[in-house]
Chains A and B, each alone.
Chain A
Amino acid sequence: MPEGFAVQPATLASAGHQVAVAAAALRRLRPEQALTAAARACPGGHLEGAGKAAAAKWGKSLRGAAGDLQRTADALSAGGSRYERSDENALGRRGVPR
C-alpha cells in the first residue's frame, strides 16, 4: 500500500470540512468596519486617510487568507474523495494549490 494510504479518507474529508469552517469564520470577520469607523471618528485628520487605507488593506488581507484557506479545505476534501476512488494519492501527485 502506498504510504499516503495510512490516513483514512474520512479523516481527510473531515479535516477539509473543519478547515472550511475556519475559512467561513474568517470570511465573516470585518476588520475594515472598525478601521473605517476609526477613520470617521477624526474627520479631516491624518487618521482619516490612514484609517481608510488600513481598512482596505486588512479587509482584503483577511478575505485573502480566508480564500487561501478555503482552497486548502477543498484540496483536503477532494483528496479524501479521491482516496476512495483510486490507489493514487492525488494530493501527493499534484501537490496542493499555492
Chain B
Amino acid sequence: MPFIPNIQAFCCHYTSQQTLAEGPEGLLADGFPKNVTIHRLVCTGKLEVSTLLKAFEDGADGVYVAGCPVDQCHNLMGSQRAAKRVGAIKKALAELGVEPERIEMYHLERGFHPEFVKVAQEMHERITTLGPSPFQGGTK
C-alpha cells in the first residue's frame, strides 16, 4: 500500500481566505492534496511552538505554516514571528535526529493565489519522499 503522508497545514485567515471559499471540493479540483489538513488561524503569529510539536505527536508526517508575505503581514509581524517558531522546530527536529524539512514556513500572497495549492503539493511530494514520521505517536 503506497505511503500517503499525514500533513497538517496551519494557515492564516488571509492567505487561505478565498481559496477556502471554494470549499473542499473546489480545492481538490484545483489539485490540493486531500491528505493535507488545514487549520485556519486568525494570524500565524498566534501559533505556539507547542502546537506545532503537538501535530507531530499526534501523528503528522509533515507540518507547514502559510502566512502573509514577510513585509506585508496584516498584523505587521505575525508571519515573521511564525517563521521564527518554525525555525525553532527545525532546530528541535535536528536535535531529535529527524529531518528538519518535515516542517516548513511559506510566505504567500493574500487572497486567492495558485501558490496556496502549489506549496501543499510541494509538501506532499517532499514528505512522500522522506517517508513516514520517525515518531510513533500516541504516548503522554
A binds B: no
Q: Which of A's residues lie within 8 Å of B, judged by CB?
A: none
Q: Which of B's residues lie within 8 Å of A, judged by CB?
A: none
